[in-house]
A and B are shown apart, each in its own frame.
Chain A
Amino acid sequence: DGGITQSPKYLFRKEGQNVTLSCEQNLNHDAMYWYRQDPGQGLRLIYYSQIVNDFQKGDIAEGYSVSREKKESFPLTVTSAQKNPTAFYLCASSNGLAGGPHEQFFGPGTRLTVL
C-alpha cells in the first residue's frame, strides 16, 4: 500500500526537550511538507522540501528544524526554542510544485503535548 506514515501518533514532551517527529512516504513524491494545526485553526506551513537535500522555511519555522537526506523521509525536530509546541502536526507530500494541480496527501498526524 502506498501512503504516508507518521510516528509516533501521540508524543509528550517536557519543557526544554527537543523531540523529533517522523514522516515517511512511499508514493515517490518529490515534495514534502510539515504543517501545524491548532484547535479551530487552519493549517500553517512550517517547512517544505521540493527535492532531496533542499528545504525552505514556511510561515512559522521558528523553533523547528528539518532535514531531507532521503526522498522518502522528512523528519521534523521541535526544539526547546519553540515556545508553544502543543499542537497537531501533519506531514504531507505531493509530486511536485511546478505546473498541474499537484494535490497534497496527508499522513495521519502526530499530536504533541508539552507537559
Chain B
Amino acid sequence: QKEVEQNSGPLSVPEGAIASLNCTYSDRGSQSFFWYRQYSGKSPELIMFIYSNGDKEDGRFTAQLNKASQYVSLLIRDSQPSDSATYLCAARGGSQGNLIFGKGTKLSVKP
C-alpha cells in the first residue's frame, strides 16, 4: 500500500518563527511532490511542487526533497497568523501517476 505519512500536529509556532512541516512517502517510484494548504472548511490550494532533490524556494516557502531518505519538507519563514491551516503533502508516482495524499499537519501560528 503506497502511503504518505505526516505528523497530524497541531504544530504551534510563534509569529515570525520558522515552521517546519515534514512528510515521508513509501513509494520509491514517486516522481513529484506537492504541498497544499487547506483552511478550515475550504478546499486545498497548491503552495509548491518539487521533483528534484534539494531545495526549492518561493517567497517565504521552501520545499526540500531527499529521495534517498524518501522525505519531503516545507519550511515557512516569518510565519504569520494567516499561515494557520492544515498542510497536505502529496506524492505522485506509480503506473497511473495519481496523487497519494497524507492526512495533513495542522499548523497554528500564535500572535
Contact = CB atoms under 8 A, between A and B. Distances in A.
Interface of A: 33, 40-45, 48, 56, 58, 90, 97-98, 100-109
Q: Determine the main DSSP class of A at the interface with B.
A: loop
A45 B42 contact: no
- By size class, the interface of chain B is 20 to 34
B49 interface: yes
Given A40-B8, A103-B49, A56 B103 contact: no
B42 A40 contact: no
A103 B44 CA distance: 12
Interface stretch (B11-19, B66-74, B76-84, B94-102): B94-102
Q: Which of A41, A42, A56, A100 has the most CB of B within 10 A?
A: A42
Contacts of B88: 42-43
Ranked nearest first, the 9 interchain pairs of A and B with the lowest CB-CB distance are A42-B101, A42-B103, A97-B97, A106-B43, A43-B101, A101-B32, A109-B43, A101-B49, A106-B44
A22 to B, nearest CB: 15
